[in-house]
Structure 1
Amino acid sequence: METFSAWLTIFVVSLIAVITPGPDFMLTLRSSLVYSRQAGIYTAIGVGAGNLIHATYSLIGIGAVISKSILLFNALKWLGAAYLIYIGIKSLTTKRVVASAKIAEPKRQIQPWVAFRIGLLGNLLNPKATLFFLALFTQIVRPSTPMLIQAAYGLTVAVLALTWFSIVAVVISQQTLKNRILSFSHWLERLTGAALVALGFRLAVAEATE
């Protein structure tokens, strides 16, 4: 019963964190709108994989080392900020794509592994994710907690992220919806880019204690 209560706590807290708009949401949204549903889903898979990696190193204690090392934490913070700003600038400089009557959407392609990498790096290079997992698991996991149970906790967070962002990708890439926003999709991409740049700068100036 105690194990179920701990798992439920992780589920609820993680669900709230996942559905709160942030870098992961913006990156998935961008991939789905700019490229395709498949690209959005692969980005979501990357986010899920990133969460699984965060959970793994937090459970084995590396997260505590990162959070207490000013050098490591700041390096991660600046890398994450630079990555978000880079993706954001790419969106801000996008050019309008004019679709003909026979073309339903812009012909912009991206390899699955590239879309996956966008989600993975965006998630891994976010130091706030490190602090989130560290704070969550240090409150829940005890030395006596079986490794299998710890793995279940980590998988719960990763699966939640994968499920939610896959839903985002599927919904936003619905053809009817994409057709409606096609005429101003370049402006929407620029808005997404501006949000990513803002998130990048916010991450860059954020204190570790936030």
Structure 2
Amino acid sequence: MVHPYAVAGFLVALLPLIATPGASLALLVRHVTDSGRRQALPVILGTITGLYIHAALAIAGLSALVMRSSLAFTAVKLIGAVYLIGLGVWTWRSATPNATPTLHRQRLPKRADSVYTQAFLANVLNPKAAAIYLTLVPQFIAPHQSFGGQILTLATAHALLITLWLAAWTLLIRRASRTLQKPRFKRTTARTTSVVLVALGMQSAAT
């Protein structure tokens, strides 16, 4: 069992990382703007699933292996970068009139499984998310207690915090629903999201 003060300290340390705009927030803004607040749920669930995957890998020691091997780390980093860049390009094209058939362009973002998969892959392929469980989490773990149990507790706290953060953004987005439903604003949001995703991918590949 992690001490409550340790959990609180972990959450405080996470706040700046969560507050920094990333792929999850970019996807949330894109899909909620385009298809409504129901799309926030698959984005949140996909992100949380990715967090638990990183926690499980940290428990198993696999993440440590990847981080210690420059070749494995580079491979994971490049896969994640390519995915984010590809997702950014697809998002831009989906916002461009006549870029793809209208029926396909409207249906794909509305599929919960598609949105969930996008959010999941954006998180699980992010080596920086894995680094949280290799560098930050150990600072709040007591060595004489259950290692796996403590990591899962901190992962759950992490999941709750990011859920609150994304839910708060969903409320803010929906408060401006009239503006958000304008086709011009949707195109602008989608293109802004695509630029963010491509930038994140390029940054991940470069670092």
- TM-score w.r.t. the length of structure 2 is 0.84
Distance 1:4 1:63 in 2: 26
Residue 50 of structure 1 corresponds to 50
C-alpha contact 2:179 2:185 (8 A) present in aligned 1: no
Paired AA for residue 137 in structure 2: F
Structure 1, gaps ≥5 residues long: 98-105
DSSP-derived class of the 1:14 partner = helix
Paired AA for residue 72 in structure 2: L
DSSP-derived class of the 2:3 partner = helix
Residue 144 of structure 2 corresponds to 144
Q: After alignment, is 14-23 or 76-85 more displaced?
A: 14-23
Residue 198 of structure 2 corresponds to 197
C-alpha contact 1:27 1:122 (8 A) present in aligned 2: no
State the 4+ residue runs in structure 1 displaced beyond 4 angstroms. Answer: 106-109
Q: Which has the higher helix share?
A: 2
Paired AA for residue 160 in structure 2: V
Residue 111 of structure 1 corresponds to 111
Task: State the Cα distance separating 1:166 from its structure 2 match.
Answer: 2.7
Residue 92 of structure 1 corresponds to 92
Give me the identity figure in percent: 27
Structure 2, gaps ≥5 residues long: 99-104
Q: After alignment, is 112-121 or 54-63 more displaced?
A: 54-63
Residue 156 of structure 1 corresponds to 157
Cα RMSD for the two superposed structures = 2.2
Distance 2:10 2:60 in 1: 17
Task: State the Cα distance separating 1:107 from its structure 2 match.
Answer: 5.0
Residue 176 of structure 1 corresponds to 178
Paired AA for residue 35 in structure 1: S
C-alpha contact 1:51 1:161 (8 A) present in aligned 2: no
Task: State the Cα distance separating 1:148 from its structure 2 match.
Answer: 3.6
C-alpha contact 1:88 1:192 (8 A) present in aligned 2: yes
Distance 1:12 1:188 in 2: 30
Work out the number of aligned pairs and report it. Answer: 196
Alignment pair present for 1:134 and 2:131 = no
Paired AA for residue 91 in structure 1: T
Distance 2:142 2:66 in 1: 20
Alignment pair present for 1:68 and 2:63 = no
| Change beyond 3 A, Cα 1:197–1:22 | same
- TM-score w.r.t. the length of structure 1 is 0.83
Paired AA for residue 189 in structure 2: L
Distance 1:177 1:132 in 2: 37
